[in-house]
Structure 1
């Protein structure tokens, strides 16, 4: 009897199956038949189920078939170590690499929760809950003396290049939380197991933001899901929000980019409102030496990203007076203003 393993980028492999064969055996067999050096973690899955390294492959699983995810596609040769969570910004280029990986893998993975559990995922609906389950946790497991690490550390070569330039404030609605009030703080830090805008639309907002402000692909954004070690999120939980890593990250940044989903959820989330208030506080406090800009990004019904900027941006700053203001108003006109109502 044989088993089939779907390896994106290489096709389907037919491997021998025998009683007692484990997931690690299957991965080793697959690697021996494929070219290249696989330096990152690997994940073998069957349907909704992620197979543990030492898990025995049953005959039923062998018949159903499996998918092998190669996280070398998004991982550096060696994970770097960035001590402070606040310094783990993710670059636009790294986010683009991540979404390219999602575009290849999404329809090979499955929904694991809710009414659509068991249905095949798609790039257009692949959100941070899916990313945490299928990418962030498995790609970062076992690093740093088995404590795991952040996705930023797995993707990065040079810690110095990851210091954040912009802070991203965005919301994720957790369908599992029945006690919203008590879980609001906990959910923010712990798992982000929630539904929100697709990662592709999130990236589109950041790409448009960088274009408008004329920033390169190396520009780094602090995004909590990618900055936190999802295996040890409790390490970053603080009673005082001004002692948290996200607050310290904000102090390092030029500004805050508020990314809105189609429901404008960030305006209903305590932590997002706090982040916005910090940006406003810094602009209105005459004694503050660090004025934070506050930009807003969102996608329209067609999935096109638009950005409202705090003042003139990019080419507008080089135009004469009212011309720059007119150019800004034209650029911002298509923004889905209903989200701000």
Structure 2
């Protein structure tokens, strides 16, 4: 299956994790690829999951970032390396790299830091991103920092102190933090999301909360269970 991104290089190693943003266009490219995989029944969730049982085909509306990490990122990158004929016995090669380093030609300092829960639907995640892009009049070249794609999912060093983690440095680098509140409000219970909120407020950075229907506090999201959960 053809991929909707440049496939003419192995990767671009970007040492500073905080500069591994993804452009809006690159997120759209990934979205196109994932839709194709789901439509052609080429994406299967290995193991057991409560919502679909054992070893079931993944539907676009059920896909989450755990699935994308396990079934796409961790499988496509080794396949891509194999295509380039890399030595799999080399310990440096075995460390691999992030999705951002796979699809980007250079470091991309983020304009926005996206805080989210991996268990939320990726379709909702992308709907939210599209709304943020529209609300803020961003271009397709705007860089967003998303931990799933910025961190090396084969093993990333977060350092010895919280202050030095990629999450905190991405907040410091970005203009604003966008917290995506998924339909189960899972992001409100995750320790990393709480840390990102704390660091954003501590550094007096702009903070906006979004659901898949719009920005919290706007006419589109002024009441309901998610707003109640946020208020608590």
Superposition TM-score, scaled by structure 1 size? 0.58
Indicate conservation of the 8 Å contact 2:162/2:168, yes or no.
Answer: yes
Indicate conservation of the 8 Å contact 2:14/2:106, yes or no.
Answer: no
1:73 corresponds in structure 2 to: 4
2:215 corresponds in structure 1 to: 307
2:89 corresponds in structure 1 to: none
1:254-278 per-position Cα deviation (integer Å, ceiling 9, x unaligned): 0110011112122212221111011
How big is the shift at 1:331?
Answer: 5.0
| Pairing of 1:157-236 with structure 2 (within 5 A) | 157-159=105-107, 162-172=108-118, 196-233=119-156, 236=157
Aligned residues: 213
1:186 corresponds in structure 2 to: none
1:99 corresponds in structure 2 to: 31
Larger Rg: 1
Out of 179, 203, 207, the position equivalent to 1:282 is 203
* SS of equivalent to 1:201: helix
How big is the shift at 1:80?
Answer: 1.6
Q: Return the structure number with greater relative CO, CA threshold 8 A, min gap 6.
A: 2
How big is the shift at 1:111?
Answer: 2.0
1:296 corresponds in structure 2 to: 209
1:330 corresponds in structure 2 to: 219
For structure 1, which runs of at least 5 residues remain unmatched after alignment?
Answer: 1-7, 9-69, 173-195, 284-291, 300-304, 310-328
Q: Using the alignment, how far apart are the partners of 1:73 and 1:332 within structure 2? A: 34
Indicate conservation of the 8 Å contact 2:120/2:186, yes or no.
Answer: no
Out of 137, 159, 162, the position equivalent to 1:238 is 159
User: Are the structure 2 counterparts of residues 75 and 127 from structure 1 closer, same or farther at C-alpha, using a change threshold of 3 Å?
Assistant: farther
How big is the shift at 1:205?
Answer: 0.6
How big is the shift at 1:149?
Answer: 1.0
Q: Using the alignment, how far apart are the partners of 1:151 and 1:169 within structure 2? A: 17
How big is the shift at 1:98?
Answer: 0.4
Indicate conservation of the 8 Å contact 1:306/1:334, yes or no.
Answer: no
How big is the shift at 1:334?
Answer: 7.0
How big is the shift at 1:108?
Answer: 2.1
Indicate conservation of the 8 Å contact 1:76/1:157, yes or no.
Answer: no
Q: Using the alignment, how far apart are the partners of 1:334 and 1:81 within structure 2? A: 44
| Pairing of 1:14-25 with structure 2 (within 5 A) | none
2:44 corresponds in structure 1 to: 110
Q: Using the alignment, how far apart are the partners of 2:116 and 2:222 within structure 1? A: 22
* SS of equivalent to 1:221: strand
Indicate conservation of the 8 Å contact 2:14/2:20, yes or no.
Answer: yes
Superposition TM-score, scaled by structure 2 size? 0.83
1:180 corresponds in structure 2 to: none
CA RMSD of aligned residues (A): 2.1
For structure 2, which runs of at least 5 residues remain unmatched after alignment?
Answer: 87-91
Q: Using the alignment, how far apart are the partners of 2:214 and 2:66 within structure 1? A: 24
Q: Using the alignment, how far apart are the partners of 1:75 and 1:154 within structure 2? A: 9
